[in-house]
Chain A
Amino acid sequence: MAEFQLVIIGAGLSGLAAGIRSARFGQKTLIVEQHTLPGGLNSYYRRQGFLLETGLHAMTNFAPRSEKHAPLNRLFRQLKLSRKSFITREQFGSEIIFPDRSLKFSNDLELLCTEIASSFPACIDSFQALVQEVERYDPFVEASWKSTRQFLQERLSDPLLIDMLLLPLMVYGNAEEHDMDLGQFAIMFRALFLEGFFRPEHTIRELLSMLTSQYEKFEGALRFKAPVTKILRAGGRVAGIRLANGEEITADAVLSTIGIPGTARISGWPLDQKKYIGRMSFMETITMVPHASLDSPRCSQTILFYNHNNVLSYRRPQAPIDASWGVICFPDNFEGLPIDTDVPLQVRITNAANYELWKQAGSSQYRQLKEEAGRKSAEAAGKIIGNYRQDVVYHDSFTPMTIERYTSKLEGAVYGSPIKIKSGATPWENLFIAGTDQGYLGIVGAMLSGVTIVNQHLLG
């Protein structure tokens, strides 16, 4: 008999959720994580007395408790976590800002409809029909790739409106350049426009510790500093894993959350890895700025999706970063969070970045490149929220290199492979993938992915 019924590689959000599901019904489960902390792409660190989150802008898929079938609430039931005691803080409101038009939206779809009716009066009826179509669409059945751009062109005649709607949906979850699979579009459209943004009451740290304690309560085992270097095979099956220290652990089944290329590399899965490495990566800048320096009314919104051009260029840029479009997030601007004007406000900026150029920079130029990119990013954001650069009290940034180093997402491709494997299946009947490369994204999405794959394949 194997030592574990299920070994899960990675203690990111998908791995933790999968672990809880598996352990909940008494399966002997082990999660192995290369780092000293859980969370993967969405973790935290401490610097100068601040607890900073690596990723969290907002959680998507907001749903009030009463909506039992909403993804968020289903997820809580599946993990046997109390939704009643999980306090959610909804966004104030967000805005998509292009040079000639802007669109506000919130967790109430009415606002977006009103905005479209006033800025794009010719499109409002077709937008409302589109909403209904997306609500009916089932993105979870296996379907071949369909172009979102074509789908939208056939419905909304205005190219500007199309690009404005696509900006938030793409930047928060599209691994492909320029276009996006229709299934992915439907998932993101629901998660952002129909459901909406919120934050947990505290930080990602408390959310992660809620997950790890639930997992441990079900007697799941969790090992940190345990990088997996090989998925062991015997006959036509997977037999277990080998860790970097040479230790081998046997398992009836293995679930990998480290992406398709990463899984291929350690399992000997013969596939053209290049096709599965996404080209979209990002630079994320976190700054802390005194309240007084942020006096534009826009600074009291939650998330701003800006584009200084009228056409969206969602692709790997030619330069280290493309500051002409991006996201400006104020993680303190959610309903019910305490406001302390003595503590500086956090401003997070996300811009598309070119992995190759960051990689080529090497250690000598890297710092300089980072400073330059940070300046460009702040200048571009300054055009939207007023200049604040001179007043910054704390500053940090991640590049595609940081993402690659900390999460093993090759080329820093946050959203993983442009080709997803929705079934989670691999060439081996007892090796599965979950998480980003299975097709669900974001915090709620990653957890749902872990739950779904365990339900479908691994409840023995």
Chain B
Amino acid sequence: MTRDEIKDVILEIIEDIDEDAEFDGLDADKPLRDQLDLDSMDFLDIVMELRKRYQLQIPEEEYPELATLNSCVNYLEPKLKEA
């Protein structure tokens, strides 16, 4: 997957988790949680959805890597290269 494709996947997952998610004006370098008003339970869903779709195991200590949209892409790029 390319970086853009990964970005789309993340946004698609978030949209799927939260029907009210608003991406207008989203800053890719700022925490997703604050901008989209997500809580830790929602965050867990992003992780679980990645696991379900791509069999990715993300250990809890690496959750901070998913903080912003750009950090998600950086973190997932090598893992989803073949996907």
Contacts and interface: CB of A to CB of B under 8 A. Distances in A.
B1 interface: no
Query: Which bracket fits the contact residues of A?
Result: 10 to 19
B34 interface: no
Given A77-B42, A78-B45, A455-B41, A25 B17 contact: no
A84 B41 contact: no
A226 B19 CA distance: 36
A83 B42 CA distance: 15
B37 A455 contact: no
Nearest to A26: B52
Given A78-B45, A83-B19, A69 B51 contact: no
A74 interface: yes
Contacts of B45: 77-78
A185 B20 CA distance: 32
B18 interface: yes
Query: Which bracket fits the contact residues of B?
Result: 10 to 19
Contacts of A69: 37, 39
Given A74-B39, A74-B41, A455-B41, A68 B20 contact: yes
Given A68-B20, A84-B19, A77 B41 contact: yes
A105 B17 CA distance: 34
B10 interface: no
A25 B52 contact: yes
Interface in A413-460: 451, 455, 459
Contacts of A84: 19-20
A380 B49 CA distance: 54
Contacts of B20: 65, 68, 83-84
Interface in A50-101: 65, 68-69, 74, 77-78, 80, 82-84
A25 B48 contact: yes
A459 B42 CA distance: 14
Contacts of A459: 44, 48
Interface string B46-79: 0011011000000000000000000000000000
B45 to A, nearest CB: 7
Interface in A122-142: none
A451 B48 CA distance: 14
For B20, B39, B51, B52, the residue with the greatest tally of chain A CB atoms inside 10 Å of its CB is B20
Nearest to A66: B20
A25 B51 contact: yes
Interface in B17-49: 17-20, 37, 39, 41-42, 44-45, 48-49
Contacts of A24: 48
Contact of A78 (B19, B41, B52): B41
Contact of B18 (A26, A77, A451): A77
Interface in A6-58: 24-26
B55 to A, nearest CB: 10
Contact of B44 (A26, A65, A455): A455
A335 B45 CA distance: 34
B16 to A, nearest CB: 8
For B18, B19, B37, B52, the residue with the greatest tally of chain A CB atoms inside 10 Å of its CB is B19
A77 B51 contact: no
A455 B48 CA distance: 10
Nearest to A81: B19
Contacts of A77: 17-18, 41-42, 45
A65 B18 CA distance: 12
A221 B23 CA distance: 36
Nearest to B48: A25
B37 A68 contact: yes
Contacts of A82: 19
Contacts of B51: 25
**Top 7 closest pairs, chain A to chain B, by CB:** A25-B48, A25-B52, A68-B37, A26-B52, A84-B19, A69-B39, A82-B19
16 contacts: A24-B48, A25-B51, A25-B52, A26-B52, A68-B18, A68-B37, A69-B37, A74-B39, A77-B17, A77-B45, A80-B16, A83-B19, A84-B19, A455-B41, A455-B44, A459-B48
Interface of B: 16-20, 37, 39, 41-42, 44-45, 48-49, 51-52
Given A77-B41, A83-B20, 6 more contacts: A24-B48, A25-B52, A78-B41, A455-B41, A459-B44, A459-B48
